[in-house]
Amino acid sequence: MVLECKHVWDYISEFLDDSLPPETRELVQKHLETCEICSAILDSTRNILILTADDRVFELPAGYSQRLHARLAQEIHPANNRPEKPTQDQD
Amino acid sequence: MTIANASSPDRDEAQMIVAIVAGDWELYHSLIQPYELSVYRMAMSFVKDETEAEDVAQEAFLKAFHNLATFRGQSKFSTWLISITLNEARRRLRRQSMVRMESLDDPPEEGGGVSPALLRDWREIPSEALERWEVRALLQGAIEKLSPIYREVVVLRDIEELSVEETAGALGISISSVKIRLHRARTMLQKELAPKLKLAIPKKRRWLSWC
């Protein structure tokens, strides 16, 4: 069985996750060895996912952590709240 | 750091949660520390504005605290925190979308296959390229352009690196839905980004540094 490009595109995501059944994976692999378009699609998709996952894409704003803990300290202080007694947003 | 590997094996989160609910509320600061970036990043991929994302993150951490007594340990604390963050982000999104008069609840999931951008060759783009703000902006923009059902799976699976099963659990959808959405979302990202990144990163940069 020979796969057409269109069908290979449908398998790219699972190919990257290594979750294709072995026989399908082999067919896709064979196609990729001879098809420069499909292998460029695979390479670019993999590359884009690696870039997307990089911590630099969505960085924490300066002071985020301090502001978060300051707000938590203010709102979860036992004088104001207890975990088992949810309060409604007041502000 | 991703939410999938934020918690180290020597942290006993169940024990910490018991102590917090029993009154050691200050321990909550330590409990959430490994998840600060993940929760912000998840919020940021939905609300698009740094200040609002920060607000969503704060609300999510506060909600998690207030509901901590209801956390029974049937899932990991991180998975539970993800659901709370997603709900908070969706709530904001729905509020904004009502203003824009568009529905986010039933985007067309089935039908309409997505095709990738066809390229003849691909030159690997190194992660140093992310030092350039325009490359970061391209990636952020492409994620923001995805509709929420696709954005969710990309953020959980590809950014927070949860497994397909964990992603399905956090979103309350089937594993096959995760795979279908993931396939479409990744194809949409490739289609949107591959041609732009190719243009943004010239073939040869012999004398210019990335910064």
What CA–CA distances, in Å, run from B22 to A31, B18, B71, B76?
60, 6, 13, 20
Whether B187 is in a domain gets the answer: yes
Identify the residue with better confidence: B10 or A60: A60
A83 vs B37: CB contact, 8 Å cut-off?
Answer: no
- Residues A21-29 have a mean pLDDT of 96
B-proximal residues of A, 30-69, CB under 8 Å: 36-37, 40-41, 43-45, 47-58, 60-61, 64-65, 67-69
Structural domain of residue B71, as residue ranges? 12-100
- Residues B40-60 have a mean pLDDT of 90
Whether B114 is in a domain gets the answer: no
- Assign residue B21 the CATH number of its domain: 1.10.1740.10
User: What pTM, to 2 d.p., does this model score?
Assistant: 0.83
SS3 A85: strand
Band of residue B62 on the pLDDT scale cut at 50, 70, 90:
very high
Q: Which of B44-48, B141-145, B147-151 has the lowest mean pLDDT?
A: B44-48
What CA–CA distances, in Å, run from B176 to A19, A83, B155?
12, 37, 17
Domains: count for chain B = 2
Q: Which domain-ending residue is among B100, B119, B154?
A: B100
Identify the residue with better confidence: B45 or B34: B34
Same domain, B81 and B131: no
Same domain, B144 and B190: yes
Same domain, B16 and B87: yes
Whether B95 is in a domain gets the answer: yes
Same domain, B93 and B22: yes
Q: Which domain-ending residue is among B61, B83, B100?
A: B100
> pLDDT exceeding 70 applies to what percent of chain B?
87
A chain contacts of residue B32, beta-carbon cutoff 8 Å: 72
pLDDT of res. B105: 44
pLDDT of res. B139: 95
Q: Quick one: which of B168, B20, B176 has its CA closest to A19?
A: B176
- Residues B91-120 have a mean pLDDT of 67
How big, in percent rounded to 5, are the helix, strand and coil portions of chain B? Answer: 65, 0, 35
Q: Does residue B176 have a pLDDT over 80?
A: yes
pLDDT of res. B104: 45
pLDDT of res. A43: 96
A43-85: pLDDT as tens digits: 999 999 999 999 899 889 999 999 999 999 999 876 665 555 4
Same domain, B150 and B196: yes
Best residue of A38, A67, A76, A85 to probe chain B, by most B CBs closer than 10 Å: A76
